[in-house]
Each structure stands twice: as C-alpha cells, then as structure tokens.
C-alpha cells in the first residue's frame, strides 16, 4: 500500500514537472497579410522571442484576421484571449483623444517626420496614455503614407464630392472626408475589397503595401500620389498581463519587440517604393501624380479638421508634431 502511494506521488510529481515545462503561449493577432510591414515585424518578434527564451515562451502569430478581426481585437485583448495586437492608431480615439493626432490630414510631410515625433518626449508619453484603461503601448510601427484612390481621378477636392469612401473607425477621418463633400463609411479592413468590388464604397485611402497585398488596385481605377496622411500602428498589450510577467521575461519580450519594430519600420520604408512599382506594373489602376497646386488645394480643404479636434488633442501636441517636419 505504501509502495503504491509512493509510486502515485512520484507519478504526480513527474506530471506536474512536465506541466511546468510547458512554454508560456503568447498570441499575437493582426488583420493584414504576412508580407506587410506589420506582418514582417510580427514574424520577426516570434523568431527573436523564441531564440531569447527557448522552451519558455512560444509566440503564435495570427495574420489576416484569422483569430480576431479589427472589430473584435480590442475586446479580445481586454478579456485576455490574445496578449498582443497591433491596431491602427485610428482605433484609439475613444481610449484617449490625444492619439487622434495621427489621423490629422497633411500633418506630417513624410515618414522621417513621423519618426521624429514618435521618438520625442511627447510621442513616447502617448504610449502610456491608455494605462488607466489597461492598455500599454510597446512601440509604434509604420505602414506608410496613405494614398487616395477611387474610380475617378481625384485631382482636386471637388472630385471627391458625393463619393463614398471607406474609412477606419475614426472621427477625425470621418471629418476629413466630410470636409471635401464626400461620404465616409466605417468598414472593417477585411471587408474593403468586396465593398469596393460591389460598389458599396467608391474609394478609400491606404499605404502602398495594403493596396498591393489586398489587391485594392484591382478594384480601383485611380490611385493618387497624395501622401496626405499616415497609417501607423501601436503595438499594445494588456497592462495587467504585462505587469504581471516575471521581470526577466518582460525585459526579454520588450527587447525583442523593439528589434522587431525597428525591422518592420525598415521594411515599411524600403517597400513603399517597391509596392508602388508593383501596382504600376500590374497595370490595373492608374497611378496619378498630384501637382503642388492640387495638393495645396487638398491641404487647404482638409486643414480645418485640425481646428475641429484641437481641443481634444491639444494645441501644444499638434505644434510638437508640426515641428517634427523641420
């Protein structure tokens, strides 16, 4: 009897030991293709983490809304069903109005200006601006400057009047298109291709990587070289989960994420030109340059949106962003 008890205890101990050896699983979910900067950064994060913490941590990457679409991922993060997500900065308006700054049209001249602002004390402070809502930002990830597209050429703001444009869930982007007499329609990214194909919407705005990887150029006649705004992401995690990690694990994860973000941002910079070239080579949509005069007309039409949101975002924050252009 005693021998059986000892044997049972030994087996239980072995079972618990085996269970203890199981790696911690981190689920990372996003809504775009692996080939995009976000997709590449996610894969790089997995590689770096599993190299730094072999056998201790396993990262599972779910691209293309396989796990959660962009309408459900914030809720999933709050519930602990996913540990890391990479939403567009346009998603955070209801959590902190200050992050709406990244949706203001014609605020940043280029990606270098975005980098300078995000690295500034004001930009870094925004990463922790949602901690009271149980969200911590681990860093910013680029996709690229956005281009306007539609089934007619959008040379002047008047050309957009009456058209329906798909937008992300952002009050700023809604006002951006209303400012030129267009009708903004909030749709999940996964629905964009079909919505354009079936005429639910007439146009949209996207960086070149999204345009090519999601074949948006196949269902749009014209894409304008507008560079009128930025589509960036924030890598976020559940604050309680993150703060509850062992310090050495958290340090390793953060280090891996910073390297992955740097890698993804380099991909974004390198691929902006190559994806534009691929869209042109496919010869399915015409890519049209915009004259300085026409760009100035678009800027003048949309800039009143800044004033509309100045009270929520903060005039000082907008000035800090403008300084990054210099």
pLDDT digits (tens, 9 = 90+) for 29-50: 998 889 888 999 999 999 999 9
Nearest Cα residue to 87 out of 29, 33, 44: 29
Identify whether the C-beta of residue 193 lies closer than 8 Å to the C-beta of residue 65: no
Element (H, E) at 183: strand 183-186
Separation in Å, CA 160 to CA 167, 173, 188: 14, 14, 21
The Cα 326–Cα 322 span in angstroms is 8
Q: Name the stretches of the chain with pLDDT < 70.
A: 1-20
Q: What is the pLDDT of residue 5?
A: 52
Q: What is the pLDDT of residue 149?
A: 98
Residues 6+ apart with CB under 8 A from 19: none
Length of the chain: 326
Burial of 50 (0-12, 13-18, 19+ CB in 10 A): middle
Separation in Å, CA 158 to CA 223, 242, 287: 16, 48, 19
Q: What is the pLDDT of residue 86?
A: 95
- Asked, for residue 164, whether it belongs to a domain, the answer is yes
- Asked, for residue 53, whether it belongs to a domain, the answer is yes
Q: What is the pLDDT of residue 71?
A: 79
- Asked, for residue 73, whether it belongs to a domain, the answer is yes
The Cα 265–Cα 111 span in angstroms is 10
Structure tokens at 233: 């992401």
- Asked, for residue 9, whether it belongs to a domain, the answer is no
- Asked, for residue 3, whether it belongs to a domain, the answer is no
The Cα 206–Cα 146 span in angstroms is 5
Q: Provide the CA 187 distance to its chain's centre, in angstroms.
A: 15
- Asked, for residue 7, whether it belongs to a domain, the answer is no
Nearest Cα residue to 53 out of 33, 86, 26: 26
Residues 6+ apart with CB under 8 A from 113: 324, 325
- Asked, for residue 326, whether it belongs to a domain, the answer is no
Q: What is the pLDDT of residue 272?
A: 81
Structure tokens at 85: 């997500």
Which domain covers residue 25, as residue numbers?
21-321
Instruction: Write the CATH number for 184.
Output: 3.40.190.170
Q: What is the pLDDT of residue 20?
A: 54
- Asked, for residue 143, whether it belongs to a domain, the answer is yes
Number of structural domains the chain divides into: 1
Structure tokens at 143: 């996709």
């Amino acid at each position: 009897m005693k021998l059986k008890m000892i044997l049972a205890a030994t087996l239980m101990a072995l079972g618990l030991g085996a269970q203890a050896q199981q790696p911690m699983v981190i689920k990372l979910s996003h809504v775009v293709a692996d080939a995009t900067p976000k997709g590449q950064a996610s894969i790089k994060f997995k590689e770096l983490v599993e190299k730094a913490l072999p056998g201790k941590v396993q990262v599972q990457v779910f691209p293309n809304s396989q796990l959660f679409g962009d309408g459900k991922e914030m809720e999933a993060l709050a519930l602990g069903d996913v540990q890391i997500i990479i939403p567009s900065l346009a998603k955070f308006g209801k959590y902190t109005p200050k992050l709406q700054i990244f949706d203001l049209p014609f605020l940043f001249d280029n990606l270098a200006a975005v980098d300078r602002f995000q690295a500034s004390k004001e930009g870094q402070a925004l990463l922790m601006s949602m901690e009271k809502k149980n969200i911590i930002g681990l860093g910013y990830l680029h996709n690229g400057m956005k281009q306007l597209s539609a089934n007619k050429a959008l040379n002047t703001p008047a050309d957009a009047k009456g058209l329906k444009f798909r937008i992300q869930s952002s009050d700023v982007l809604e006002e951006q298109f209303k400012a030129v007499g267009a009708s903004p329609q909030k749709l999940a990214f996964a629905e964009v291709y079909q919505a354009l194909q079936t005429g639910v919407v007439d146009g949209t705005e996207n960086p070149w990587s999204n345009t090519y990887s999601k074949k948006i150029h196949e269902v749009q006649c014209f894409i304008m070289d507008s560079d009128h705004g930025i589509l960036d992401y924030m890598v976020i995690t559940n604050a309680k989960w993150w703060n509850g990690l062992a310090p050495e694990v958290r340090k390793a994860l953060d280090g891996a994420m910073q390297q992955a973000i740097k890698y993804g941002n380099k991909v974004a910079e390198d691929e902006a030109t190559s994806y534009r070239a691929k869209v042109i080579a496919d010869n399915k949509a015409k890519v049209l340059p915009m004259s300085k005069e026409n760009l100035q007309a678009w800027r003048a039409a949309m800039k009143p949106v800044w004033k509309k949101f100045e009270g929520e975002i903060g005039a000082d924050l907008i000035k800090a962003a403008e300084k990054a252009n210099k």
